[in-house]
Amino acid sequence: MKTFATLLFYILLGASQVMAQATISGKIKDQEGNPLPGANILILEQNTGTVSDLEGNYSIHINKSGTYTLKVSFIGFDAITQKITVDSKNTSKNFILSESSSELQSVEIIGRKENGYKNTATFLGSKTQTNIKDLPQSVSYVTKELILDQGLMRTGETVKNMSGVNQFTFYDDITIRGFRINGSSNTQLVNGMRSTSGFWKQPLINFLERVEVLKGPSSALFGNASPGGVINRVTKKPLDVTRNTLSFSMGSFNNFRALADFTGPANESKTLLYRLNIGFEDTQSFRDLQFDKNLVIAPSLSFLPSDKTRVNLDMVFNSSKSRLDRGQSAFADDLYATPTSLALNTANDYLNEQTYTITASLNHQFTQNLSLNASYMRTGYNEDLSEHRSSNAYALDGNGEVIPNLVARQIFIRKRSRYVDNLSSYLNWNTKTGEFEHQVVFGYDYAKEMLPPGGSQLTANGYRNAANNGSISTFKPENASAYLLDKNGNPVPNVPHFDLNEPIGSNRMQDMSKYFYNTRGFDPTLYHLNGFYLQDQITWGKIQAMIGIRYDHYTDFVDYRKDSETKVSQHAFLPRFGLVYKANENINFYGTYVEGYNPQTASTISNPNAGGPFDPLMSEMIEFGMKSDWFNKRLELTTGIYQIIQKNTLYPVPGETDLLEQIGKEEAKGIEIDLTGRILMNWSVMASYAYNVAEITESPDEDDLNRQKPNAPKHQGNLWTKYEFDQGALEGFGLGFGTNFVTERNLSLNDTQTIPGYTLMNAAAYYTSGNLRLQLNINNLANKTHWVGGYDYLRLFPGAPRNLLATITYSF
């Protein structure tokens, strides 16, 4: 690291010598003479640019005299492209922009051209582009600019910037307002389409434009979903201007990344646009034996044969080689008894995953007020796993007593695949009835998920039998003669225990041929759903109303592809009501009521012996809030208060092994505040705070009642700010600083184990000269020991200690 720091110093020193030879400056105004702060000014030949300040002034450096093409753009205004001849060090040019008459997109098929932490519009909450301020529901997001500035590479790393969103583990696994969702639940979205991924590893996110979360039940738009909300990953789309970027990062834990992003028109008429994102990562970890080798290839094409038709093709392919980290194990009563680096793997463990998504989208404008949108996405996931992990228990001696320094261990060897298809098609119709303006959406969704034959797992666990030709899953001291015992009278494990006092020896390669295995099959599964929905966004003066209804028909094939195959169908009518009142130009008040559902059939609960069929999980939310923007719409403030209720939670029947009954009820209520944007043109900020009480209110176990749900902090918040020096001796330099905190969290509803709250501090430094950007991120400045989540003290998920990441980015 010392050598790399020295190299970075000389690069910075050399880059500071690259001084501009000429300057173009001026003022950006609207047709009424008002300055336009935050307008984008781009030199196409150099692919460099700047933004106008509070007074609409701009100044941009070029490398040498000559003729250059300037493109000036601002949201809501028609862009201007003009050639400028520069023959001296100071050339002045003013621009006047005209308000755009074009409608908002009805499908997200053209790339976002905004720069900064603030995102003005979303498709997530209404199936059509809507200003976030006009949406009667809470949306949190993280843009690619914030992802870059914070040096983030995983979705789980981004959620610290969102109110009410928290990591559950360090897998693709989070909670939203106290309700858990994960990558394999098929309730996460890519470009608004249902997708699936591996639960274990989070892919790189260099191909994403932003990560956004729609809070609360969203079934009225997307079918079955978590009551807390849905995560949507929006991929980068092709742009009609050439922008190419190469980025290289090195840092702690032998971290190396190489990223590339190429976009622009493929022909002179700009009817064919392209984008290609490539990411490569080879990194170790602060966790013992952990590593990640990832390759992401994400090409995208946009075809615009006319101003009425747009077609987009996207693909994301991710290949991951790693080990599956099941977390840190500690002594039963001492959270700090083992280092956070401790993992229970052996050197011959591995996890190989491949995931792909392929999407085709069409938008056709029949008339000025009627358009058709259709998208099809196919997702495939393949898993090849061999792992040593805990058996979720400590080892037992011959008397059945716990041996506190030994963790019982098991091994899984697994192969399986999963495929998801989904189709989304809808009509957008804009019309008027008297003084009422309507934006009507009528649509149909189809989704199918299939686990094909062949999915299976070899499992070795428990203790060896007396004949040493098999294993018994649990040890019962009253029947000790049935087990193979060592010289001390303790049962011999099928898989060697992990010694917390001697982890190095336990991490060594194991001879897996000596274990006794049981075979578990993952039976083929299939389910599909059909959804029909109608939604109307009504505008009347200062009032906007959103009224929607969805009918979902869900079919699960129980005992799929067996002689006993049967169909279990469930259906739901899901209303949605929202109201927005525009108090003035800056402030909107909103209120909403939405309902949601999630099926509980054999495939979704993964237990064919659970009984049932069960009614779906049903949820409802009431939310009120205020959305506002300030400083010429550069800074956005959102506040909200909500209550979510979910019914029909399944619980075990007392005295039964597998049977479940539908008697549970959960409730979450809280307050959220989000602040995003720019205070000054060179001073960016993102901040949030959430207070959330997420409890079980009905349960057969009275100890569960009024207890905070697992990994859901009552309080959490964050602040990130970046200041860029735009004049004087420090011009080109920037500084970033952030902090985030969560309070104490419960790990399990079955005992009183908790993990402490924490406050982390992060910092960053930047230097930009021409097309070159140098960046240094320092995370966890105080080297705080902390845990991002966990199940119990045998499965803890620690956060990283202090770490550094240095990045060089070149744009051309």
Q: How far apart are the C-alpha atoms of 247 and 268, rounded to whole Å? A: 28
- In three state form, how does the secondary structure of 700-734 look? CCHHHECCECCCCCCEEEEEEEEEECCCCCCCCEE
Task: For residue 623, give the nearest of 127, 218, 38 by alpha carbon.
Answer: 218
* One-character DSSP codes across 593-642: EEEEEE---HHHHT-TTS--PPPPEEEEEEEEEEEEEETTTTEEEEEEEE
Give dist(CA 286, CA 325) in Å, integer.
12
For 107-119, what is the mean pLDDT?
Answer: 69
Q: Is residue 8 part of a domain?
A: yes
Structure tokens of 57? Answer: 């002034």
Cα 253 to chain center, whole Å?
A: 23
Of 180, 215, 235, the residue at which a domain comes to its end is 235
Residue 658 pLDDT class (50, 70, 90 cuts) = confident
The residue out of 167, 200, 235 marking a domain boundary is 235
Q: Across-strand partners of 789?
A: 797
Assign 342 a pLDDT band (cuts: 50, 70, 90). very high
Q: Give pLDDT tens digits for 202-229.
A: 888 999 999 999 999 987 788 888 899 9
Convert the pLDDT of each residue in 501-520 to its tens digit.
999 999 999 999 999 999 98
In a domain, 91, yes or no: yes
pLDDT tens, 748-759?
766 678 999 999
3-state secondary structure of 656: coil
Closest to 506 in 3D by CA, of 345, 393, 392, 387: 345
Is the residue at 765 inside a domain?
yes
Q: Do 613 and 739 share a domain, yes or no?
A: yes
pLDDT the model gives residue 113: 60
- DSSP strand pairing (243-251 vs 179-182): unpaired
The CATH number assigned to the domain holding 160 equals 2.170.130.10
What's the domain count of the chain? 3
Spatial separation of the C-alpha atoms in residues 525 and 509, rounded to whole Å: 35
Let me know the angle formed at the C-alpha of 529 by 524 and 531, rounded to the nearest 5 degrees: 170
90 falls in which pLDDT band (50, 70, 90)?
confident
Question: With contact defined as beta carbons under 8 Å apart, do 570 and 558 qualify?
Answer: no
**Per-residue model confidence as pLDDT tens digits over 137-187:** 999 999 999 999 999 999 999 999 999 999 999 898 899 999 988 766 656
| In contact, 295 and 319? CB cutoff 8 Å | yes
Q: Is residue 501 part of a domain?
A: no
Q: How far is CA 381 from CA 190, 453, 543, 679, in A?
A: 15, 14, 45, 43
**Given 189, 213, 235, which residue is the final one in a domain?**
235
49 and 146 in a common domain: no
CA distance 460 to 68: 68
Q: Count the Cβ atoms, other than its own, within 10 Å of residue 282.
A: 15
Predicted confidence (pLDDT) at residue 116 exceeds the cutoff of 50: yes
Same domain, 256 and 229: no
What's residue 10's pLDDT? 44
d(CA 291, CA 268): 45
Residue type, 404: P
Q: Determine the pLDDT at residue 70.
A: 86
Residue by residue, DSSP assigns 150-216 as: HT--SHHHHGGGSTTEEESSSSSEEEETTEEEETTSS-EEETTEEE---SS-PPP-TTEEEEEEEES
Proportion of the chain above pLDDT 70, given as a percent = 92
pLDDT in tens, 590-646: 999 999 988 887 666 666 677 777 888 899 999 999 999 998 888 999 999 999 999
Contacts of residue 638, Cβ cutoff 8 Å, sequence gap at least 6:
132, 138, 625, 626, 627, 628, 672, 673, 674, 675
Rounded Cα distance, 493 and 510, in Å? 14
| 579 CB neighbour count, 10 Å cutoff | 17
With respect to residue 514, please indicate whether it lies within any of the assigned structural domains: no
Average pLDDT over residues 180-196: 78
Residue 102 pLDDT class (50, 70, 90 cuts): very low
Other beta carbons within 10 Å of 334: 10
Q: What is the mean pLDDT of the chain?
A: 89
On whether both 357 and 449 belong to a single domain, the answer is: yes
Taking residue 467's Cβ as centre, other Cβ atoms within 10 Å add up to: 8
72 lies in the same domain as 208: no
Q: How confident is the model at residue 100 (pLDDT cuts 50, 70, 90)?
A: low
> What domain range includes position 179?
121-235
Q: Are 168 and 281 part of one and the same domain?
A: no
Q: Which of 191-195, 265-269, 370-374, 501-505 has the lowest mean pLDDT?
A: 191-195
CATH code for the domain of 270: 2.40.170.20
**In a shared domain, residues 755 and 622:** yes
Q: Which of 425, 464, 456, 465 is nearest to 442 (CA)?
A: 425
Mean pLDDT score, 31-42:
78
Q: Are 7 and 13 in contact (CB under 8 A)?
A: no
Same domain, 152 and 258: no
Count of beta carbons in the 10 Å neighbourhood of residue 700 = 12
d(CA 319, CA 339): 31
E strand map for 323-401: 350-365, 370-396
What is the CA 465 to chain-centroid distance, rounded? 46
Category of 481 on φ-ψ map: left (φ > 0), alpha (ψ -120 to 50) or beta: alpha
Give domain status of residue 686, yes or no.
yes
- The CATH number of whichever domain residue 29 belongs to comes to 2.60.40.1120
Q: Looking at residue 137, what DSSP letter applies?
A: S
CA distance 278 to 264: 16
227 assigned to some structural domain:
yes
Q: Are 358 and 421 in contact (CB under 8 A)?
A: no
Q: Could you tell me the two tokens for 778?
A: 């320092």
CA quadruple 409, 410, 411, 412: dihedral positive or negative?
Answer: negative
d(CA 389, CA 367) in angstroms, rounded, equals: 60
What is the pLDDT confidence band of residue 16, given thresholds at 50, 70 and 90?
Answer: very low
Give 15's pLDDT tier (boundaries 50, 70, 90).
very low
- Range 663-669 average pLDDT: 91
Residue 549 to residues 369, 440, 641: CA-CA distances in angstroms? 22, 12, 23
Distance of CA 130 to the CA centre of its chain: 21
Q: Which of 23, 27, 134 is nearest to 74 (CA)?
A: 27
pLDDT, one tens digit per residue, over 402-458 is 999 999 999 999 999 999 999 999 999 999 999 999 999 999 999 999 999 999 999
Domain co-membership, 221 together with 198: yes
Average pLDDT over residues 684-695: 97
pLDDT given at position 647: 93
Q: What is the pLDDT of residue 103?
A: 41
pLDDT of residue 110: 56
Phi and psi angles of residue 171, each rounded to the nearest 5 degrees, phi first:
-85, -170
Q: What is the DSSP string of 497-540?
A: PEETT-HHHHTS---GGGS--EEEE---EEEEEEEEEEEEEEEE
Q: Are residues 221 and 321 in the same domain?
A: no
Both 602 and 621 in one domain: the answer is yes
pTM to 2 decimals?
Answer: 0.85
Give the residue, 213 or 660, on which the prediction is more confident: 213
The more confident residue out of 558 and 18 is: 558
pLDDT at 770 over 60: yes
Instruction: Average the pLDDT over each of 182-186, 239-243, 782-786 and give the range with the smallest value.
Output: 182-186
Question: Does residue 608 have a cis peptide bond before it, meaning omega lies within 30 degrees of 0?
Answer: no
- The number of angstroms, rounded, from the C-alpha of 615 to the middle of its chain's C-alpha atoms is 29
Does the residue 482 lie in any domain?
no
**Same structural domain for residues 231 and 249?**
no
Give the pLDDT band (50/70/90) at residue 686: very high
